[in-house]
Amino acid sequence: MIKMVISGLVVGALLGWVLQRGRVCMNSAFRDMILVKNTEIFRAYLAALLIMIIGANILEDTGVIKVLYRQGFMPVANVMGGYLFGIGIVMASGCASGIWFKIGEGIVPAWVSVLGFFVGILTTSEGMLLRLYQSLSNYQIWLTGDGLKLLTARQVDESWATHADIYPLTLYNLFGVNKWIVIAVLGAVFLFVILRGDFKKSRRGYSWYVAGPVLGIIGIAAWWASDYYGGKARGMSFTGPTVELFRWVMQGDDPTWSVFLIFGVVFGSYLSSKQIGECKLKSCGANETLDAFLGGLLMGFGAVVGGGCNIGHGLTGASTLAVSSFVTMLFIILGNWSMVYIKFIRPMDIQ
């Protein structure tokens, strides 16, 4: 238990420090691409993802981690959940990891967004929206011995129970090639995008080309530590752990490794922002506070329906090469861009 707590806090603190010092928030990464034509944070994200893909699969192939959890592909749920989550992060002014590290900086609306995030998750996974969630996620595409098949959630459960020949859809088994061929292709594409822009040094904090690779290394450490000390290879995630944290505090449930990861993120962000003089209470008006809560609600709903958030899918899930994670991230970006257009670009065009 002590090792689980310490390892979760340490990995989380490192994560929070790098996120805050590098200003790595996926809402900003996707928003800035079309709003101010800046790709720095997006390139940091790609650098982190590439390192995590390579590292996670080496851990699996060498047996350090027995198996990486890969999520099944739910076409309707991944598309709808991802798109709504992308809209929500614009309204909340932060992604799932962003609102947590901003708490450490003293940004009050981030607390409101986290509350909305928790309510949205719980309402969708266990409350009044449960049946809607079950309907959206009912149909899934899996790879079977007879090829790709559209299965219901019940058929998937029955297949697992009987140890049937069924596998989650990945980029490599979709095309029937060795996964390292897919990794090589993705690596070439990512490097092309990463190396296209400039390498200006940041005036404050870490430059994108420092924050991105370090974030990727922390992600690999999270894969290993969550498996070795937490009992399950979950890596970095924020959707499930957010609910687990609230339940531990409010109901006394046993905490998981990921709960201490979140505590570490807040603490690491606090230390980083305190050192550079950015830690101070910052509030906002009523309209912004309402947006923060509604954005958090939408993020919670989208994360449950889509099967994960920008970190759970965008880094941890995508590092397993699961098709579900890549599709969900594509629609998170599209949802982000849609809301950025409505909230920022269109008003400027009208003026």
Task: Write the CB contacts of 282 (distance below 8 Å, at least 6 apart in sequence).
Answer: 105, 106, 107, 108
In the chain, domain spans = 2-350
Q: For residue 317, give both structure tokens.
A: 């899930």
* Contact indicator for 268, 10 with CB cutoff of 8 Å: no
**Residue in this structure with the two tokens 């996620």, named with its chain if needed:** 137
Low-confidence ranges of the chain (pLDDT < 70): 203, 351
* Contact indicator for 29, 215 with CB cutoff of 8 Å: no
Nearest Cα residue to 95 out of 18, 50, 28? 28
pLDDT for position 314: 97
Q: What are the tens digits of pLDDT across the range 326-343?
A: 999 999 999 999 999 999
pLDDT for position 349: 74
Q: What are the tens digits of pLDDT across the range 259-318?
A: 999 999 999 999 999 999 999 988 888 899 999 999 999 999 999 999 999 999 999 999
Of the CA atoms within 13 Å of residue 279, those in its CB half-sphere come to 17
Cα 301 off chain centre by: 14
Q: Is 335 helix (H, G, I), strand (E, B) or coil?
A: helix
